[in-house]
């Protein structure tokens, strides 16, 4: 797996046609990055035998050095994924995405804002809309981009710690 800024499959997942696909595929990519982080610090075969669920993987990642401030956002993403996986009427509502954003720590919110600013600059629309005025879907995508970037950086730092960079 690549620890580049963004892989093509992740970007494609973010631009899926429906919210169900967006949420589920985003979660799969985020969980893959979480597993990649764990595999840097622990033997992959042993991790597989543990048969950990998503929440347990987050807790193990924290125990192995992922910053605690990232846990709430990752857990909230899992909660949204579960809602979409178990209810046909789930949507990326204003309330759901606002609550996801509220779970983020200050540095994670800063990462979301930086992702938004970069997007606005690339589209030559800087300052035309405030983050809070975006659609819930667009805000979800920016939050997902920030969570993925946080995990990419955590993987890079973990590789440095174990001398695998």
Model confidence pLDDT, tens digit, residues 32-75:
999 999 999 998 888 889 999 999 999 999 999 999 999 999 99
pLDDT digits (tens, 9 = 90+) for 93-110: 999 999 999 999 999 999
At residue 123, does pLDDT exceed 70?
A: no
For 2-18, b/e burial (b = at least 16 CB within 10 A) is: ebeeebeebeebbeeee
At 66, is the secondary structure helix, strand, or coil?
Answer: coil
Specify if 138 maps to a domain.
yes
Specify if 1 maps to a domain.
no
Specify if 35 maps to a domain.
yes
Q: How many domains does the chain have?
A: 1
Specify if 53 maps to a domain.
yes
Q: What CA–CA distance (Å, rounded) separates 14 from 22?
A: 6
Specify if 54 maps to a domain.
yes
Q: How confident is the model at residue 1 (pLDDT cuts 50, 70, 90)?
A: very low
pLDDT digits (tens, 9 = 90+) for 78-91: 999 999 999 888 99
Question: Which DSSP letter does residue 97 get?
Answer: H
* Residue span of the structural domain in which 126 resides: 8-162
Alpha helices (H) in the chain, listed in sequence order: 8-14, 19-41, 44-50, 54-63, 71-86, 94-103, 106-122, 136-162
Specify if 19 maps to a domain.
yes
CA distance between the termini of the chain: 14
Specify if 2 maps to a domain.
no
Specify if 3 maps to a domain.
no
């Amino acid at each position: 797996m690549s620890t580049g800024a963004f892989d093509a499959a992740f970007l494609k997942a973010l631009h899926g046609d429906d919210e169900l696909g967006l949420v589920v595929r985003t979660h799969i990519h985020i969980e893959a990055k979480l597993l990649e982080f764990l595999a840097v610090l622990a033997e992959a075969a042993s991790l597989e035998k543990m048969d950990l669920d998503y929440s347990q993987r987050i807790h193990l990642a924290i125990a192995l050095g992922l910053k605690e401030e990232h846990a709430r956002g990752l857990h909230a993403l899992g909660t949204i994924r579960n809602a979409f996986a178990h209810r046909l009427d789930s949507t990326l509502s204003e309330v759901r995405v606002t609550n996801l954003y509220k779970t983020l720590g200050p540095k994670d919110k800063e990462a979301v804002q930086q992702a938004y600013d970069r997007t606005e600059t690339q589209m030559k629309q800087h300052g035309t809309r405030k983050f809070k005025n975006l659609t819930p879907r667009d805000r979800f995508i920016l939050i997902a981009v920030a969570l993925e970037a946080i995990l990419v950086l955590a993987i890079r730092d973990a590789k440095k710690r174990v001398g695998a960079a």
